């Protein structure tokens, strides 16, 4: 191969490598929590992820909860909604009570498509005559809305 042909190949190779580069990103995150008092307990969690690449943007969100009571009443519910812009929002609630003793937990999770995930869980339990026990856990991996 002569020096002239080598220089031409090198220039062509450089031009191909310096083409446009597509930005890629991914983010995941989530929180969960639980509370228990007497014969009651409640827990919730939420997790999500988003990824952007050459094929586009994809996002997911999962949330749920459970509650238990020895002799009392329990309730749990969860839902996920998609916004018009492709973002996802979800929440889960769980509570249990037995007389004046109760436990509850609530998680809110949001996935901003192509940006990040934010999630917060608040839990609380209470026994009559005692101070309530509360906890909060939060995370944000780049969500901006």
Q: pLDDT digit string (tens) for 22-71?
A: 568 899 999 999 999 999 999 999 999 999 998 899 999 999 999 999 99
Distance CA 76, CA 63 (A): 12
Q: Is residue 12's pLDDT more than 50?
A: no
For residues 71 and 95, give the distance between their C-alpha atoms in angstroms, rounded to a whole number.
Answer: 14
Token digits of residue 94: 């769980």
Specify whether the CB–CB gap between 128 and 28 falls below 8 A. no
Q: What's the CA gap between 117 and 90, in Å, rounded? A: 11
Give the pLDDT of residue 144.
74
Kindly state the DSSP code that residue 100 receives in the 8-state scheme: T
- Distance CA(41)–CA(121), nearest Å, equals 15
Query: What pLDDT, in 10s, does the model give residues 69-104?
Result: 999 999 999 999 999 888 999 999 999 999 999 999
Say what the pLDDT of residue 127 is.
Answer: 97
| Interior angle at CA 98, CA 97 and CA 104, nearest 5 | 20
pLDDT the model gives residue 8:
36
- Tokens 């929590």 map to which residue? 33
């Amino acid at each position: 191969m002569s020096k002239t042909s080598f220089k031409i190949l090198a220039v062509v190779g450089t031009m191909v490598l310096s083409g446009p580069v597509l930005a890629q990103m991914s983010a995941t995150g989530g929180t969960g929590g639980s509370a228990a008092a007497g014969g009651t307990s409640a827990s919730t969690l939420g997790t999500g992820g988003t990824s952007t690449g050459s094929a586009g943007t994809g996002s997911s969100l999962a949330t749920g909860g459970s509650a238990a009571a020895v002799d009392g009443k329990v309730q749990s519910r969860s839902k996920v909604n998609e916004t018009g812009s492709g973002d996802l929002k979800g929440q889960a609630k769980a509570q249990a009570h037995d007389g004046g003793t109760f436990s509850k937990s609530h998680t809110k999770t949001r996935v901003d498509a192509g940006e990040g995930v934010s999630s917060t869980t608040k839990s609380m339990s209470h026994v009559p005559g005692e101070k309530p026990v509360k906890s909060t856990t939060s995370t944000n991996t780049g969500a901006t809305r």
